[in-house]
């Protein structure tokens, strides 16, 4: 019987998916039995697609060739085969909803509504913004959250979110937020620590952009921009990860207009499926100067060809709305996918990137996440940076709780489970101080 460990980590997110997972626990589905592999000795033989070789076999040896030819080619492949193509940027409108002092007077907290999309079917996402008090223009961490802005801090003055919300069993309903949900995720958000180090924090409930369940995109940003995406082939249309990434870029549009945020010094951060999102957002939008992936796993930082823990087949089966309709072509067929995740990390170069794993999060394949960062090093060095630091990349994966953060590519393996902890944030803040 298949382990239900993913449910503990919040991987189930709708009633249809809850029912579907119960079906998945049957011994055979379509004559395919899924048992997650965690044995390095059982990894199928694979060869990673080269980062510095064009699809036609032409080698890439200069920064100019990378910028003008190879990078656009890889961006096109990821859009076509994995995340889907997004429509062009659309105009935004913003409105400040509230302003108050916070964190014992250390910070100014604002709620700002940013609206975009069709005139009659627009999307409004609420930004919760903490900035250091009296700072002129602060560098910022921009991130999505899972349980509503009110979940990151118990302060009763933060507005409750009335949009679609998932509960702990994974069943999706509307208007689930309540006073009891205030601050339930506060352990993941050390706001005072972030403020004390001179950074702003901007967070958005991801369900504001696209509710995280499969209903053929009858809601959220995909519905609002359906006409704008009408010319994109159906199999290449954007999935939810691309939709959330699109929302992050529209938030960036706003932050570049905000005089209390330095729009040239913004880091995009995400955990789990939102770590996948931050990587694609960082690749797609070069305005992000630092990209942080926390426990992002399959479809994020982990090499898909290793097929350890969550696989392409499993993620597409459980979450068919996350990726484009071409991606299931590589279910149990990772070797035929023209890209792998080390190339995604390379697309962020020469901007800074940080990948983090956790020792007990085998579902996300920590070693595969490290290897992706390691393989991207050659592009970072080609573009004139120090890659993972030193005169050459590290020869082996670091021990737990020994962060690599001296170069432009950072990495750590934290002791513990699939989560975001103060230790993680301490590494991100230290890394951001060097690169923002």
Q: Looking at the annotation, which residues are catalytic?
A: 272, 418
H or E element, residue 273: helix 273-284
- Residue 261 pairs with which residues in a beta bridge? 138
Q: How far apart are CA 427 and CA 128, in angstroms?
A: 23
On the CB side of 229, CA atoms within 13 Å amount to 24
3-state secondary structure of 53: strand
From first CA to last CA, the distance across the chain in angstroms is 47
As a dihedral over the C-alpha atoms of residue 77, residue 82, residue 88, residue 91, rounded to 10 degrees, the angle is -150
Asked whether 244 and 236 are in contact (CB, 8 A), the reply is: no
Per the listing, tokens 């995406």 go with 229
- Residue 307 pairs with which residues in a beta bridge? none
* Count of Cβ atoms closer than 10 Å to residue 82 Cβ: 27
Q: How far apart are CA 122 and CA 219, in angstroms?
A: 10
In degrees and rounded to multiples of 5, residue 311 shows phi and psi of: -115, 170
Strands (E), 79-224: 92-102, 107-117, 122-132, 138-145, 164-166, 172-174, 200-205
List, in order, residues 6 or more apart from 68 with CB less than 8 Å away.
none
Q: How far apart are CA 301 and CA 135, in angstroms?
A: 34
Per the listing, tokens 């940013």 go with 114
Report the relative pairing of strands 172-174 and 200-205 from DSSP bridges: unpaired
Q: How far apart are CA 225 and CA 228, in angstroms?
A: 5
Alpha-carbon Rg for the chain, nearest whole angstrom, is 20
Among candidate residues 207, 191, 127, the one with its CA nearest the CA of residue 159: 127
DSSP 290-309: EEEEES--TTTTS-GGG--S
Asked whether 364 and 295 are in contact (CB, 8 A), the reply is: yes
DSSP code of residue 39: -
């Amino acid at each position: 019987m298949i382990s239900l460990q993913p449910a503990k980590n919040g991987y189930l997110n709708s009633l249809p998916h809850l029912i579907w997972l119960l079906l998945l626990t049957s011994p055979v589905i379509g004559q395919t039995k899924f048992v997650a592999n965690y044995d390095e000795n059982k990894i199928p033989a694979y060869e990673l697609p080269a980062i510095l070789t064009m699809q036609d076999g032409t080698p890439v040896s200069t920064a100019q060739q990378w910028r003008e030819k190879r990078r656009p080619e890889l961006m096109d492949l990821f859009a076509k085969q994995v995340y889907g193509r997004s429509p062009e940027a659309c105009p935004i409108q913003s409105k400040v909803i509230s302003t108050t002092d916070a964190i014992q007077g250390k910070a100014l907290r604002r709620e700002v509504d940013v609206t975009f999309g069709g005139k009659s079917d627009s999307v409004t996402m609420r930004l919760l913004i903490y900035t250091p008090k009296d700072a002129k223009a602060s560098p910022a961490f921009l991130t999505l959250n899972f349980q509503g802005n009110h979940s990151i801090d118990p302060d009763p003055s933060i507005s409750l979110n009335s949009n679609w919300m998932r509960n702990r069993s994974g069943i999706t309903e509307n208007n689930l937020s309540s006073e009891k949900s205030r601050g339930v995720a506060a352990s993941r958000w050390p706001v005072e620590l972030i403020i004390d180090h001179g950074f702003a924090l901007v967070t958005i409930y991801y369900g504001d952009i696209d509710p995280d369940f499969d209903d053929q995109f009858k809601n959220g940003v995909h519905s609002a921009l359906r006409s704008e995406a009408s010319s994109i082939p159906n199999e290449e249309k954007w999935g939810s990860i691309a939709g959330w990434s699109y929302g992050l870029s529209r938030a960036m549009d706003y932050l570049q207009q905000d005089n209390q945020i330095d729009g040239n010094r913004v880091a995009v951060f995400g955990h789990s499926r939102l770590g996948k999102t931050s990587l694609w957002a960082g690749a797609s939008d070069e305005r992000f100067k630092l990209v942080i992936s926390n426990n992002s796993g399959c479809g994020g930082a982990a090499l898909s060809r290793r097929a350890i823990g969550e696989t392409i087949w499993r993620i597409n089966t459980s979450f068919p709305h996350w990726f484009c309709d071409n991606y299931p072509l590589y279910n149990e067929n990772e070797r035929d996918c023209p890209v792998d995740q080390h190339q995604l990390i390379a697309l962020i170069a020469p901007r800074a990137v940080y990948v983090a794993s956790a020792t007990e999060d085998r579902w996300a394949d920590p070693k595969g996440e490290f290897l992706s960062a390691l393989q991207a090093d050659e592009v970072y060095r080609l573009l004139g940076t120090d890659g993972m630091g030193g005169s050459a990349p590290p020869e082996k994966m670091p021990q737990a709780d020994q962060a690599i953060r001296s170069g432009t590519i950072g990495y750590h393996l934290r002791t513990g489970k699939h989560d975001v902890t103060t230790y993680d944030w301490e590494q991100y803040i230290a890394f951001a101080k060097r690169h923002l």
